[in-house]
Structure 1
Amino acid sequence: MSIQTGGLNKISLVSLSQIRRPIAPVLDHQKIDAMVSTLKGLPEASKTCTKEEAAAMDAQLPPIDVLCVRNEGKTYYFAFGGCHRFQAYDRIARETGDDVQVRCKLIPATRSQLHLYVGSSLDDMFD
């Protein structure tokens, strides 16, 4: 749970292909392996989660905080955290060939708020 979405209880499903990740992640591949196993219903321990905690997740990962920006009639989704969860969903998508649905907590945002995260590359974030 994050500070931004601690009080937000609604979890939405967003297609993995719709979520933009403007910042390259630094990854712990063992943690991603454990998350993929959890998604497959075969929980494993990682550095940050015991096998019992993973089993209690019932083949789900915690939702990812995603900024939701409306621009010129279109909706854009941006994720800056949840790097390992995002990579676990991406691996499942590549293995299955499906466009996986990601559990998200959507945070409404404006272009100017997104500018705080991406700076001068803001215009590159939209089609």
Structure 2
Amino acid sequence: MSLQSRNIHATRTLPLALILRPIPPVLDDSKVDNMVCTLQKNPPAGTEFEPGTLPPVDILHYQSPAGKDFYFAFGGCHRLQAYGRAQVEDVNCKVLKVTKSMLKVYLGGSVDAIVGE
């Protein structure tokens, strides 16, 4: 549970293809492999996750003035990589609505180029 989403109890699924990850992840492949096994309902002994599930990923949702939705992940890199490797299309998420100025905390001046404004 993250500080940002600790008070958000509702989760939803989003297609992995919609989630933007503008910062390249640094990954521990063995951790990703364990998560893939969990998603495939064959978790390694001693895993902390329920077979077939992973904890939700925090997603920042920005809707442009034109109505276009952007979904950003700045954490959860191992989980997102595991979903991709396991070919699971839908990601369990906690979605937090953000403003453009809030996105600038993460993206700086490049936010305009990314969201097309």
**Is residue 33 from structure 1 mapped to residue 33 from structure 2 by the alignment?**
yes
The SS at the match of 2:23 is: coil
The residue correspondences of 1:29-108 to structure 2 (distance < 5 A) are 29-44=29-44, 50-51=46-47, 53-54=48-49, 57-71=50-64, 72-93=66-87, 100-108=89-97
Aligned partner of 2:85: which letter? R
**Is residue 19 from structure 1 mapped to residue 19 from structure 2 by the alignment?**
yes
The SS at the match of 2:111 is: helix
Q: Normalising by structure 2, report the TM-score.
A: 0.93
**Is residue 120 from structure 1 mapped to residue 114 from structure 2 by the alignment?**
no
Distance 2:22 2:115 in 1: 11
User: Alpha-carbon deviation of 1:12?
Assistant: 0.8
- Percentage of pairs with the same residue: 44
Q: Normalising by structure 1, report the TM-score.
A: 0.86
The unaligned stretches of length 5 or more in structure 1 are none
User: Alpha-carbon deviation of 1:59?
Assistant: 1.2
User: What do you get for the CA RMSD once the two structures are aligned?
Assistant: 1.3
After the TM superposition, list the runs of 4 or more consecutive aligned residues in structure 1 that deviate by more than 2 angstroms.
Answer: none
More helix by share: 1
Distance 1:118 1:44 in 2: 36
The SS at the match of 1:14 is: strand
User: Alpha-carbon deviation of 1:58?
Assistant: 3.0
